[in-house]
A and B are shown apart, each in its own frame.
Chain A
Amino acid sequence: DAGVIQSPRHEVTEMGQEVTLRCKPISGHDYLFWYRQTMMRGLELLIYFNNNVPIDDSGMPEDRFSAKMPNASFSTLKIQPSEPRDSAVYFCASSPGDGGSYEQYFGPGTRLTVT
Chain B
Amino acid sequence: GDSVTQMEGPVTLSEEAFLTINCTYTATGYPSLFWYVQYPGEGLQLLLKATKADDKGSNKGFEATYRKETTSFHLEKGSVQVSDSAVYFCALRTSGTYKYIFGTGTRLKVLA
A106, B98: Cβ atoms closer than 8 Å? no
Q: Which residues of A contact B46 (CB under 8 A)?
A: 103-105
A55 CA / B93 CA spacing, docked (Å): 16
Q: Which residues of B contact A55 (CB under 8 A)?
A: 98
Given A101-B49, A102-B32 in contact, is the A45-B99 Cβ separation under 8 Å?
yes
List residues of A (1-33) whose CB comes within 8 Å of B's CBs: 4, 31, 33
Q: Whose C-beta in chain A lies nearest to the C-beta of B97?
A: A56
Q: Which residues of A contact B100 (CB under 8 A)?
A: 33, 45, 104
Q: Whose C-beta in chain A lies nearest to the C-beta of B43?
A: A106
Contact size range, A: 20 to 34
A7 CA / B93 CA spacing, docked (Å): 27
A60 CA / B34 CA spacing, docked (Å): 24
A48, B99: Cβ atoms closer than 8 Å? yes
User: Chain A's interface: helix, strand, loop or mixed, by majority?
Assistant: strand
B98, A95: Cβ atoms closer than 8 Å? yes
Q: Which residues of B contact A54 (CB under 8 A)?
A: none
Q: Whose C-beta in chain B lies nearest to the C-beta of A43?
A: B102
A42 CA / B93 CA spacing, docked (Å): 17
Given A56-B99, A102-B93 in contact, is the A43-B105 Cβ separation under 8 Å?
yes
Given A42-B104, A101-B49, A103-B49 in contact, is the A48-B98 Cβ separation under 8 Å?
yes
Is B69 in contact with chain A by the CB < 8 A criterion? no
List residues of B (80-112) whose CB comes within 8 Å of A's CBs: 89, 93, 98-100, 102-105
List residues of B (16-63) whose CB comes within 8 Å of A's CBs: 32, 34, 36, 41-46, 49
Where the two chains meet, the residues of A that have a C-beta atom closer than 8 Å to any C-beta of B are 4, 31, 33, 42-43, 45, 48, 50, 55-56, 91, 93, 95, 97, 101-109
Listed by A's residue number, 8 A-B pairs whose Cβ atoms lie within 8 Å are: A4-B43, A42-B103, A42-B104, A103-B34, A103-B46, A105-B46, A106-B36, A106-B43
Where the two chains meet, the residues of B that have a C-beta atom closer than 8 Å to any C-beta of A are 32, 34, 36, 41-46, 49, 89, 93, 98-100, 102-105
